[in-house]
Chains A and B, each alone.
Chain A
């Protein structure tokens, strides 16, 4: 009996081993590898400018190796989940290729995902969505429409989802807008036709989707109506959205957001300023605790300032400053507007104090970057050449400080652009060209990058008379945007310059 026990235990263990899910281990390990690679990519993204291309390629290799290192063996639910991890790892690799500006490798990875994971609609839908974004940025409207349609077919919309299921809700509206741009026909009859599909889609969602998604669909219906100049219908959608949200306990979204959107709609429909002001004031009165109060006060300030009422505008701006929880950017914007109003009303000393304090109080706001330029503008309009030069020198120092102090991101790109423009204004074209080139390269495949490179080439040619440098910049643009119209244009221009100089 005692001898039989080890055999029985061994048999049980073997049976247990055989009855286990064959993909569970690999799924767990693949998820761990994916998590680690994501953490590494996140760490490197803090200061991407300090990371070499080879390091990025190592991360790409880690992501790309996950499907082969941890293959799926069975065909059950776990295997399907494991294949989902594989596909997401490849998507992450494609994203890094995108940021490195290697669109060919990125599209290769997308094709691999589409071929190997066609049974995962959520992933192939995400690929279609990404392809749509690329095509749209290249103004390839038909390809964009096709890709977006594919994403819509594959992915069911879900407002609460942070991924592609949350993003596809916007697509019918975006597609309608693309149709209008692509057809170059802005007549109302064409618009109605272009927006018909979007209307049907959102009506369907309001009727059938879950509550949150239906609420989002209602907000998009308002946009669809507004795009067709059906202002009353758009307003009625927003009002009913606000009523639904107010009736929910707790509301999934701030009802004040709908009221604020109504004020934006009134601005867009060119309603009288009093109407817009009344809506914003009602928001402040009805939702005093809402985060939208700060935005409403700022909106009021702009409205009063544009309609010749600087005192009330300043009152509204003081109200923004009094809100301690106002977002950094909004608070900065309010101070900048206050300085502009004070300057216009002849109180330059007060304005100057605000502009000097702005980069200290709200260093990461866009307004902080605009403050030095505002000082330059004041001296320029006053015809004070010496003051202008001094202000330009201060602006340059401020932007260089900013770039040294903060990591690369949207605000630092803006700072770099301001620095390049300041150097141009100072007529230090050599340095300005270098800054514009650096800016263009930093933006990778983004269309704005091509614009900055073109400005750099133009400055090199016209201000420095340096044809060789202009040609070099154009060649660089042609390589960076190899498969785009702008790349082709740059290569033709470079050839033309070379021909001219011979």
Chain B
């Protein structure tokens, strides 16, 4: 695919997704994802309250060690604790919402009008869970690749540090790009999880540039916030430690908006490539 066609496809897919912003029904799955995240976040923030502590403290200590239950260490560990919890939630729960959103977008684009989005998503839950689990494991593993680089060089050289950060961001965007269509294959083509993953790879290969750009856009736009997350120590020392919580709430809200565009745009490309172009 040449560069101009790829750029045209990106603009067209994003415009198609943006055109659906006034359809309240499509927002429902995303609002549900954000709602679940906010509830989970509130539970983590209130881990020290009697009824929640037996449920949440093991998660916090498991993700960030026993010192994370102390103040202000808790806020230093909050980004990592919440990102891991979100990853687990995305595998166990929110994959259903993504599935429902794909059906809703497909209907908005004039396809599968007979399908009941939530029923289909629930029915295909096992396959969605496996596909999302594969994506989650890959995304979880990416930051650990930083361990392959000499620690001293990372600490002493800003170029090396930013180079590694850029490489890790690129890798996580690549992983997401190659697995982004798996849910659509499962929901709209009723495929099994592993076949859907393989077909997603194939589809991304044939539409690499537009898919990569659509996945990379939100990742790059959200990167300043992710970077600030990784420097929670700055918030703790310069502002109040609780500022970290505010930052994560902003992130949840922005992910809601970008998630809408990402799912909408990739569903549009999926339908075009599998039905219209064929």
Contact = CB atoms under 8 A, between A and B. Distances in A.
Interface string B125-164: 0000000000000000000000000000000000000000
B49 A25 contact: yes
A322 interface: no
Nearest to A15: B54
Interface string A5-29: 0000000010011011110110111
Secondary structure class of chain B's binding surface, majority of residues: loop
Contact of B54 (A17, A28, A31): A17
B189 to A, nearest CB: 35
Contact of A24 (B53, B72, B241): B53
Query: Which of A20, A22, A24, A35 has most B Cβ within 10 Å?
Result: A20
A57 interface: no
A19 to B, nearest CB: 5
Nearest to B57: A24
A19 B55 CA distance: 10
A35 B76 CA distance: 14
A16 B54 contact: yes
Contacts of A21: 53, 57
B69 A17 contact: no
Interface residues of A, number: 15
Nearest to A36: B240
A28 B51 contact: no
B48 A29 contact: yes
Interface residues of B, number: 14
B238 to A, nearest CB: 11
A25 B50 contact: yes
Interface string B107-141: 00000000000000000000000000000000000
A31 B70 contact: yes
Interface string A266-306: 00000000000000000000000000000000000000000
B82 interface: no
Interface in B23-51: 48-51
Contact of B70 (A13, A19, A28): A28
B181 interface: no
B98 to A, nearest CB: 27
A35 B51 contact: no
Contacts of A13: 51
A35 B50 contact: no
A32 interface: yes
A17 B48 CA distance: 11
A17 B51 contact: yes
Contacts of A16: 51, 54-55
B261 to A, nearest CB: 37
Contact of B71 (A19, A20, A22, A32): A32
Contacts of B72: 31-32, 35
A81 to B, nearest CB: 8
A28 B57 CA distance: 12
B70 A20 contact: no
B74 interface: yes
B54 A25 contact: no
B69 A28 contact: yes
Interface in A25-61: 25, 27-29, 31-32, 35
A242 to B, nearest CB: 24
Sorted nearest first, the 10 A-B pairs with minimum C-beta distance are A31-B71, A20-B53, A28-B48, A25-B48, A16-B54, A17-B51, A32-B71, A20-B54, A19-B54, A17-B50
Interface of B: 48-51, 53-55, 57, 69-72, 74, 241
Given A17-B50, A20-B51, A31-B70, 9 more contacts: A13-B51, A16-B54, A20-B53, A20-B54, A24-B69, A25-B50, A28-B48, A28-B71, A32-B72
